[in-house]
Structures are given as structure tokens and as C-alpha cells.
Amino acid sequence: MWEGARENSGSMEFAGVVRRYKKMLSEEQIGFFDVSDFEHIVEYYIDKNQLTNALQACEIALSQHPHSFLVKIKKAQVLLGQLKVDKAIDLLKILAEIENTNPEVMFMLGSCYSIQGVETKAYNYYQKAEKFSFDDRDEMLYNIGAVYVQNAEYQRAVHFLEKAYNENPKNDSVLYDLAYCYDKMGNDENSIRCYNEYLDLDPFAESAWYNLGIIYTRREEYDKAIESYDFALAIDENYASAIFNKANTLSSIEKYSEALPLYFSYLRFDKNSSDARVYIAECYFQLEEYSKSYAYYKQAIQLDAKNADGWYGAGIVLMVEENLTESLVYLKKAIKLDDNCADFWNAFGKVNASLDNYEEALIAFRKSVEIEGTNPDFWISFADFFYHYDQTALAIQTLFQAENTVSEKENAQLLYKLSGYLTENGNIQLARIYLKKALNINFPMHSELFLDFPGLKSRRWIKKLISQFAMKNNFS
């Protein structure tokens, strides 16, 4: 009881000091305040981000207490906040001559040089601030780390934040920033560990749950991601970003019917979101509700005519519905807005091929593999284009070229296709080699060979090779 009463009394006294100071200014009188009073007054203005008023209070304080080290530190803090870095450095250097082991002075000098981009000096002063910190050492280390976080220098931030953590593992600010830095550095395991430790201290921190959700989504641990977003939404049901990300995660695992109501819920907070409508349209497309899909793609581009994904999506719906001439119009617009998207060029190639626009299709397919040569789907589309025009040799040549750019892990589909082309072209010996390669990479995918080339089911050497491979590798 006594502690609470004393704290409340101090708060009332502090408010009284500020009122008395403001009255003095308004009446243009001179009143005396002790150093601790001025400290409260300056802090009051700093908290309100009224730095001009804070600097004025420092000047009045120095007129009454010209030798006060504390007031001079406050003035340096205000100058630093105003980004008057040269003036702050001049004052701090004078203070450093008086107290060359003062950690606060060393920290502010480090911050000044950090702002100026003189990183070596900044780091040296931060090290001195660390060396001379004894009381609240974890807070000083945290403050140094926080500067590096703000400057996106995550490796250096972690150096100081880890030390702060070792000083005080229960400092929630340290844990949060450590988790954030590890996330930015791609160190998911440590980031998850720190967020979980942070949540042990503050289980109602919705932003920490949300950040965990992002990491789990990136790791394709979708159940954990959804659980994390659910915790964030249990704390704050109006957490718009968590709603949106949960919808995206559900969409990623093809739970489109569950994702849709969340996207609609998100629109309550961002009713003019063009991107949300694109995602809604995509869900409807995957559910084969093409008229709804097209309607939402149209809404997206009406809200934002520069939304390339909206134009592309509408073009794909029209392509599926075999409205090819109109599809071309939308795909052309998408490419005009973003000519470096391989998906756009690939779709444009397919529509042109269907319309028998050979040259336009050729240019489009070639462009798609130039942009994203590691994607086997684009190479296969390109090869299929040649095959459709009875240019099997060119289809084979295209897939030979693809073999050099597509990773072996992604190669199976491409190799099955290549084996089929070679077989139809009479190159049985080479076809056998590529079929063996494909079977070794992904045996179950061999069924796609017969989907693409149904006539090959009757080839005895193919059936025999698949059967031998299955027996040797215990495939049932």
C-alpha cells in the first residue's frame, strides 16, 4: 500500500512541477526549479516529442544550474533527437572530458557517429558504453542493439542483444528484437525460440504470434502458422494483417473455401484493396467458379488499373473459357504493366499458339524461359508448342537446352517428356537413357508419360523397363 501511495504522490508532484513551469512561461516570470525538477520537465516534453520546448527547458535549466552535468546530458539528448548532430557531438565531447567513463555519454556519441555514417567511431563508442555500464547493463546493451536494428545491421544488433539477453533473459524487449533480427537473417530456429520465450513472458502479445505465423508459413509448417494466427486473432479479432495472412496460408494448402470468408473479413478493414480481390478471384478460380473469379478480377483492376495480377488473372479465366481473343487483350495489358513475369509470357504464348499466331507465340515462350529458366513448366510449354506444330526435333532441342538450367530435383517431368519426344522421333536408345534418368528421380511420375503420350503404352521396351525398375526398387 505504502509503495503505491508513494508512487502516486510522486506522479502528482511531477505534474505539479510541469504546471508550475508552464505557468512561469505564460506569465513571463522567473521561477526557480532544482535539477531534478528540470529533469522531469525535459522528459515531459521529450515524451510528447516537443523537442523545441525540451531544448528551451534545458537552456533555462542551465541558466539556473550552469554546471549541472545531468542537465547537459539532457540537452545533448534533445540535440540528438533534433538531429543537430554536430552540436550534440561538441557538447558530448566536453562532457566526456569531465566523465570519460560515463556510459550514457559514450552511447550518445556512438549514436551521433552512427547517424553520420562513421561506423568505426560509432562502434568504438558503443563498446566503451558497454565497458562502463554496470547498473542496468542489459538496458544499455539493448539500446545499442536497437540502434543497429533500426539501421538494419542485424548481425551487429545480435552481437549486443545476445549479451543483453545473457545479462537478463527476462528482458522482453531484448527477446522481441532478437527474434526479429534472427528472422531477418533467415535464422528461423533461433527466431522461433526467442519469440516463444517472449510469449512465455507476455502470452497476449498478438504481434509476436503474428510474426511466428509468418515464419511458420515461410517454413511451410502450415498447421503451426494457422495456429499462431489464431492466437493473434483470439487476442485481437480485428488484427487485419493476421486475418489476411491466415487466408493466404489456407489458400497455400488449397483450402480455398476456408480462405474466402477471411478475405471478405479483411475487406472490412481495407475495402478498396485490389490485391485482396485478386486473391478472392484466385480462390474462386481454383474452385472452378469462373464467373465469380472473373468478376473479382474485374473489380481488382477497376480499383487499381495498374494491378498486373488482376489483368493476368482475368486473362487466364477467359483462356479457360476459350474466349481467346479477349484473353489476349488482358494478357497484353498484364505484360505491359510487368514485362518481367514469366507466367504472363507463358500464358500469352499458349493463347497465341491456340489462335495459331506462331511468331507471337514463339517470342512469348522464348521470353518466359529467358526470364525464369529454372522452371521446368515453362520449358515444357515451349517444347509442347513445337510438338504441336510437328516440329518434334525443335521440341527435343528445347528440352536438351532446359536440362542445363533446371535443377536435377525438378527435372523428372521434363525428362519423361523428353523420353516421349525421342521415342516418337525414333531415337529409342537415347529415349531409354532419359527414361531411366526420370525413373531414378521420380518413379511415381512415370504415369504422366502415358498421359502425354498415350500411344507409348503399347511399347514393350517401355513397359519392361518400368516393370524392372519397380521390382528392383521394391515399388508395388
pLDDT band at 3 (very low <50, low <70, confident <90, very high): very low
> Grid coordinates 543537430 are at which residue?
84
**Do 452 and 462 contact (CB within 8 A), yes or no?**
no
pLDDT at 241: 96
- Per residue in 25-53, pLDDT (tens digit) is 888 777 888 898 898 999 899 989 999 99
The rounded percent of the chain whose pLDDT value lies above 70 is: 96
Cα atoms in the Cβ-side hemisphere of radius 13 Å centred on 60: 22
Side-chain-side CA neighbours of residue 103 (13 Å): 16
What's the mean pLDDT in 108-137? 91
pLDDT digits (tens, 9 = 90+) for 213-224: 999 999 999 999
Mean pLDDT over 196-218 rounds to 95
**pLDDT at res. 2:** 32
All three cell numbers of 87: 552540436
Per the structure block, which three cell numbers stand in for 417? 517428356
What is the reported pLDDT for 455? 87
- 375-476 to CATH, choices 1.10.3720.10, 3.40.225.10, 1.25.40.10, 3.30.70.990: 1.25.40.10
How much is the mean pLDDT over the chain?
92
pLDDT beyond 90 at 16: no
Give yes or no for residue 4 having a pLDDT over 80. Answer: no
DSSP string of 358-394? Answer: HHHHHHHHHHHHHH-TT-HHHHHHHHHHHHHTT-HHH
Report the distance separating Cα 27 and Cα 7, nearest Å: 30
Least trusted range by pLDDT, from 184-188, 366-370, 444-448: 444-448
What is the share, in percent, of the chain residues with pLDDT greater than 90? 78
- Quote the CA–CA distance of 39 and 73 in Å, as a whole number: 10
3-state secondary structure 220-244: CCHHHHHHHHHHHHHHCCCCHHHHH
Which residue type occupies 26?
S
CA atoms within 13 A on the CB side of 427: 15
pTM: 0.80
pLDDT band at 371 (very low <50, low <70, confident <90, very high): very high
